[in-house]
């Protein structure tokens, strides 16, 4: 039987980052990463292979090269059983590998709801992180004219925009009242809705899909309100489920939602076994509730934590819950969100004060390429601690959102933004006199003052 000090199952975002971080911290230990497929897609780039990138070839993650560069053995095989008592993993090829520490990074697969009649018709697709499937799907979509994308989370939104770019007639259908309903409050999601509509994507909200109809192949979809629309293809973007069967069948504890149960060091309940990424249990940073958040950024943060804690616990380096920091873009406009939305806070009985500032990202605003910047900050009413934020801006939206994320993670209050020192430049940022994070915080502070004075 082969042996390695650290064995990693799964070679996408979580597995790759855990291997590299782990090896940097424990250079004398041997590391082996095993993944099911040779080619690994950049998961976040998948929507773009249907439009901007044109093919999966341009969206490959250089996992093998990165492993080689870091002195990590990389193998292609499928783990079929973990023997947690004798500490070895059996693979489909018949190989067995002994480990000291095991990292389970088996990720997630898309959900195809069992209740959806017609889900198995030809031209009904999901969006797995599987190159072969995506290449097949890309070529089958070739002859389609009308495509329905079901589910307007960030993947559905990105995919709709990319398919529209390629000339399809795209209809995005969302059961909730708004697109991106869970990530953005309505005053921001409406703006994204408007942008997508202007770009020619048809959007239907507040009604779900009931069935897909066709003679062997998609012809029509029927919505919950009885409306029928002719379609040539249907893409289901209705969520992902954790790949936790391998862990479960090997006796590793799984939670009620099917995620591998972990602590704040990403350790499972089984000795010397860690779980990271989409397959591992998540807890919301603010509400402390278990959540099904699946983000590559979260996966990589968990992977770094696990890598650093493999052989010796760094007690301050823990993963204290997902802040669900995410950004996306439509053309040159970026959208970002971090922490809880105002709507989510209300649902949790978490009283908040919000501030929303609309400014411009250059000063003076007459400079070329100046763009509107909108920042919404959400603070807990009783403490002033920032618990969420949303941004619409130019390409800097992603980094502004990351600043908000760091503030949430460090439980900074509105005061930290009010006294924030920033660097600015006419061609790069908003004006120092109208910096959106500070201005949004000032609005919260003004509301706090009014409350203290008993004013409305
Ligand atoms: C279309 C799309 C767009 C996205 N965009 C973004 C984005 O912009 N930003 C963001 O933060 N997140 C994004 N995500 C989410 C992100 O892709 C996931 O959170 C991320 O891929 C999780 O990484 P992971 O390593 O945990 O799992 P996965 O990426 O699912 O990888 C798991 C790996 O393990 C392998 N594996 C599974 N079982 C076995 C086994 N038994 N033996 C060996 N190998 C096995 C799989 O083959 C796979 O390679 C997007 C997801 C999709 C689908």
Parallel/antiparallel/unpaired status of strands 372-380 and 352-360: antiparallel
Does residue 433 carry a pLDDT above 90? yes
Name the band, by pLDDT with cuts 50, 70 and 90, for residue 315.
confident
> Residue 386: CB partners within 8 Å, gap ≥ 6?
339, 377, 378, 379, 404, 407, 408, 411, 412, 413, 414, 416, 417
* Distance of CA 175 from the midpoint of ligand 1 (Å): 25
Q: What's 216's DSSP letter?
A: S
pLDDT for the residue 111:
96
pLDDT for the residue 314:
87
Cβ neighbours around 405 below 10 Å, total: 23
pLDDT for the residue 72:
98
pLDDT for the residue 143:
85
State how far the Cα of 256 lies from the Cα of 124, in Å rounded to an integer: 29
Cis peptide before 187 (omega within 30 of 0): no
Does residue 341 carry a pLDDT above 80? yes
Residue owning the nearest CA to atom 8 of ligand 1: 44
pLDDT for the residue 54:
81
* Distance of CA 141 from the midpoint of ligand 1 (Å): 23
Does residue 212 carry a pLDDT above 80? yes
Q: Which of 56, 76, 59 is nearest to 15 (CA)?
A: 76
Mean of pLDDT values over 401-415? 98
Residues of the chain with pLDDT > 90, as a percent, come to: 96
Mean residue pLDDT of the chain comes to 96
Name the band, by pLDDT with cuts 50, 70 and 90, for residue 316.
confident
Condensed to tens digits (0 to 9), the pLDDT of residues 147-173 reads 999 999 999 999 999 999 999 999 999
- Closest-lying ligand 1 atom to the alpha carbon of residue 276: 26
Whether the model pTM is above 0.75: yes
Copy the structure tokens of residue 319: 């993963």
Question: Residue 83: which H helix or E strand, with range?
Answer: strand 79-83
Mean of pLDDT values over 389-403? 97
pLDDT for the residue 205:
98
Residue list, ligand 1 pocket, CB within 6 Å: 9-15, 34-37, 40, 43-44, 46-47, 78-79, 105-108, 127, 129, 155, 243, 246, 277-278, 294-297, 299, 326
* Distance of CA 427 from the midpoint of ligand 1 (Å): 37
Mean of pLDDT values over 114-128? 97
Does residue 456 carry a pLDDT above 80? no
* Distance of CA 47 from the midpoint of ligand 1 (Å): 14
pLDDT for the residue 55:
86
Condensed to tens digits (0 to 9), the pLDDT of residues 379-388 reads 999 999 999 9
Q: Which of 102, 366, 121 is nearest to 221 (CA)?
A: 121
pLDDT for the residue 175:
97
Condensed to tens digits (0 to 9), the pLDDT of residues 246-267 reads 999 999 999 999 999 999 999 9
Q: Where are the alpha helices (DSSP H) in 166-295?
A: 186-198, 245-249
Residue with tokens 């509107």, as numbered in its chain: 372
Does residue 317 carry a pLDDT above 90? no
State how far the Cα of 366 lies from the Cα of 323, in Å rounded to an integer: 36
Name the band, by pLDDT with cuts 50, 70 and 90, for residue 353.
very high
Angle (CA) 367-368-373 rounded to 5° is: 75
pLDDT for the residue 363:
95
12-16, 19-23, 113-117, 316-320: the lowest-pLDDT one: 316-320
State how far the Cα of 294 lies from the Cα of 143, in Å rounded to an integer: 32
- Closest-lying ligand 1 atom to the alpha carbon of residue 159: 1
Copy the structure tokens of residue 263: 């602590």
- Closest-lying ligand 1 atom to the alpha carbon of residue 328: 8
Question: Residue 338: which H helix or E strand, with range?
Answer: strand 333-339
Residue owning the nearest CA to atom 4 of ligand 1: 44
Mean of pLDDT values over 272-286? 98
């Amino acid at each position: 039987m082969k042996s390695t000090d650290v064995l990693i199952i799964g070679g996408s975002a979580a597995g790759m980052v855990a291997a590299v971080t782990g090896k940097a911290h424990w250079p004398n230990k041997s590391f082996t990463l095993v993944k099911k497929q040779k080619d690994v897609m950049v998961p976040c780039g998948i929507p773009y292979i249907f439009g901007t990138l044109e093919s999966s070839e341009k969206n490959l993650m250089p996992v093998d090269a990165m492993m080689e560069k870091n002195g990590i053995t990389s193998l292609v095989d499928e783990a079929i059983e973990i023997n947690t008592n004798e500490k070895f993993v059996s693979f489909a090829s018949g190989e067995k590998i002994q480990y000291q520490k095991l990292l389970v990074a088996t990720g997630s697969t898309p959900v195809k709801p069992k209740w959806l009649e017609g889900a198995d018709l030809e031209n009904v697709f999901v969006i797995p992180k599987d190159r072969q499937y995506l290449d097949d799907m890309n070529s089958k979509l070739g002859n389609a004219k009308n495509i329905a994308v079901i589910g307007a989370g960030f993947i559905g939104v990105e995919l709709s925009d990319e398919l529209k770019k390629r000339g399809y007639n795209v209809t995005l259908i969302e059961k909730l009242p708004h697109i991106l309903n869970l990530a953005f409050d309505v005053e921001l999601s409406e703006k994204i809705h408007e942008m997508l509509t202007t770009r020619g994507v048809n959007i239907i909200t507040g009604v779900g899909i009931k069935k897909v109809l066709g003679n062997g192949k998609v012809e029509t979809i029927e919505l919950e309100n009885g409306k029928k629309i002719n379609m040539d293809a249907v893409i289901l973007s209705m969520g992902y489920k954790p790949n936790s069967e391998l862990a479960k069948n090997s006796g590793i504890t799984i939670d009620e939602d099917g995620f591998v149960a972990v602590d704040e060091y990403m350790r499972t309940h089984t000795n010397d076994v860690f779980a990271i990424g989409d397959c591992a249990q998540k807890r919301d940073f603010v509400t402390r509730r278990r959540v099904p958040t699946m983000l590559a950024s979260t996966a990589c943060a968990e992977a770094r934590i696990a890598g650093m804690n493999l052989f010796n616990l760094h007690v301050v380096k823990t993963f204290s819950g997902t802040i669900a920091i995410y950004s996306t873009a439509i053309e040159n406009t970026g959208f970002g969100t971090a922490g809880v939305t105002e709507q989510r806070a209300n649902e949790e009985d978490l009283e908040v004060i919000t501030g929303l500032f609309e400014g411009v990202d250059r000063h003076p605003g007459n400079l070329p390429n100046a763009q509107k910047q909108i920042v919404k900050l959400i603070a807990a009413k009783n403490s002033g601690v920032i618990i969420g934020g949303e941004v619409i801006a130019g390409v800097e939206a992603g980094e502004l959102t990351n600043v908000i994320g760091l503030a949430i993670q460090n439980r900074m209050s509105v005061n930290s933004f009010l006294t924030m020192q920033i660097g600015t430049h006419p061609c790069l940022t908003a004006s120092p006199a109208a910096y959106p994070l500070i201005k949004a915080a000032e609005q919260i502070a003004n509301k706090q003052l009014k409350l203290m004075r008993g004013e409305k």
